[in-house]
Amino acid sequence: MACYGLPVLYALFLWWFSTGLILYLDGLPRRTYRWSLAAATLVLGLAMYGVGASAADATPAGAYLAFTCGVLVWGWQEMAFLMGGLTGPRRHACPEGCVGWRHAVHAVQAILYHELALAAGALVVVLLSWGGTNRVAAWTYLILWVMRTSAKLNLFLGVPNLQREFLPAHLQFLGSFLRRAPMNLLFPVSITGATVVAAILVQRAAAADGASFDAAGFTFLATMLGLAVIEHWILVLPLPAASLWRWSLRSRSRPPLHAERECGILPRDPALPPAMP
């Protein structure tokens, strides 16, 4: 049983800790972002190397390495987005009364560079790993990409819980593209499709030899997809998601005046340190 339990626990910890670390660093003053992104880019390079190195390693250890590297590559994308380095050409809220296709175009403009970076990341990870027998990194990244895209579409179409507390002050304008609604037609499709695929992955993991590469790999993928399904349910159920990362969100508890000046809402005091452009 440990051969399944350990991958599940490892995946849960890596998901929880990496998300919390990104939220914590994102809550620090913006002048620290260049250093955080520089360190993250170094980790990204090592992760890309790990993706390629693990592609031919069809062992449980290789599955752990590939899964970790896939999550780290995804983490760089999330950090670059939340810190404002990869968003889009539109950096202001949608005007009141903007609806329909015009509103959808504005929403795409607000996250265009991020979406292109996600696609480029997927292409690189797939190319690095697809020729080998270990494709856990590629499937991990693709699962995260598809499910995050699904979450974005559901937030745009309308859900009860918008999770705006996870947006930093300099990205609050993205809240104008989120819609609060009891439900949308895409949500049942997203949940049903992801749940069916997660069940198939669980079956594949259970059918494999417990100490094998397949058991570890399919367990990692099933766990990540299961977490993504839970994250989708959080969009419609009154669950306190922010409490999972309360420790990391404390970095945003800065004096309101300082935070507003860093975001350009108020004039800058010459005594304050400069913000990252």
* pTM exceeds cut of 0.75: yes
pLDDT of residue 272: 38
CB burial of residue 84 (10 Å; 0-12, 13-18, 19+)? middle
Q: What's the Cα-to-Cα distance from 136 to each of 70, 76, 117, 124, 166, rounded to whole Å?
A: 8, 18, 20, 14, 28
pLDDT of residue 266: 38
pLDDT of residue 261: 45
Number of neighbours of residue 128 by Cβ within 10 angstroms: 21
Q: Is the pLDDT of residue 190 over 90?
A: yes
Between 185 and 4, the more confident residue is 185
pLDDT of residue 31: 93
pLDDT of residue 263: 44
Between 191 and 259, the more confident residue is 191
Distance CA 95, CA 106 (A): 10
Q: Is the pLDDT of residue 108 over 50?
A: yes
Query: What is the rounded average pLDDT for all residues in the chain?
Result: 88
pLDDT of residue 209: 80
Q: Is the pLDDT of residue 11 over 90?
A: yes
The mean per-residue pLDDT over the stretch 56-60 comes to 94
Q: Is the pLDDT of residue 264 over 80?
A: no
pLDDT of residue 270: 38
